[in-house]
């Protein structure tokens, strides 16, 4: 068992270091803006303090712990914009916003796409998922644009078996439920092919 754990830890560290090296090679002129954490999700456990970060979102720049405030938080990732399963999931999260609000819960999503992709995709979500957008603001929760994979690496959301055309890993369907005390209460990981049941996530919050 000890050798198995050691082998896994070495693999995780190698993977994170590989991301750092690859990112710096791709961005020689701006290396400081492309850094990946060596923290992987398997090093995060229930009861751990959720790593804080600053990121650009569809609602502007946020500081994560400040965003959570005194609320609960559903922090979830999806593999890519403009994909059918992801479109359905984000539409469902929007339709459940009244239920999340009753539970003092904020939602925030993430993918490795940029803000322009997010903004264009949100229009598709509104149209295809029959979402009422009278005020024209789009989704009522923010989406993180993590093209450099900084936050995804910090939370161990990257899938080294699912690589994009640039040779970089995409995110799996991760879910973190984080309490008002900023500690992790629940972690779920789904493969890219499997959509999440957000009614079940509501049940987890209630529990």
Residues with a catalytic annotation lie at 86, 181
Query: Which of 132, 178, 176, 141 has the alpha carbon at shortest distance from 41?
Result: 176
Helix (H, G, I), strand (E, B) or coil at 23: helix
**Which residue in 35, 65, 59 sits closest to 149, CA to CA?**
35
> What CA–CA distance (Å, rounded) separates 63 from 65?
6
Tokens 């270091």 found at? 17
Query: Helix, strand, or coil here: 201?
Result: helix
Residue 4's SS3 state is: helix
Count of helices and strands (H, E) across the chain: 7, 9
């Amino acid at each position: 068992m000890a050798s198995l754990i050691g082998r896994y830890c070495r693999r995780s560290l190698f993977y994170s270091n590989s991301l750092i090296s690859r990112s710096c090679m791709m961005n020689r002129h701006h290396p400081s803006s492309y850094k990946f954490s060596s923290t992987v999700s398997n090093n995060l456990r229930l009861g751990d303090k959720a790593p804080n970060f600053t990121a650009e979102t569809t609602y502007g720049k946020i500081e994560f712990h400040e965003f959570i405030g005194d609320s609960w938080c559903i922090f979830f990732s999806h593999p890519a914009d403009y994909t059918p399963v992801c479109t359905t999931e984000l539409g469902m999260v929007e339709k459940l916003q009244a239920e999340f609000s009753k539970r003092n819960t904020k939602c925030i999503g993430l993918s490795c796409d940029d803000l322009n992709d997010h903004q264009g995709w949100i229009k598709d979500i509104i149209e295809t998922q029959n979402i009422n957008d009278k005020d024209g603001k789009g989704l009522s929760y923010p989406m993180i644009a993590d093209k450099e994979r900084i936050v995804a690496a910090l939370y161990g959301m990257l899938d080294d078996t699912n690589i994009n055309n640039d040779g970089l890993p995409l995110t799996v369907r991760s879910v973190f439920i984080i309490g008002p005390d900023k500690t992790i209460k629940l972690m779920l990981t789904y493969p890219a092919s499997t959509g999440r049941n957000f009614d079940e996530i509501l049940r987890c919050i209630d529990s």
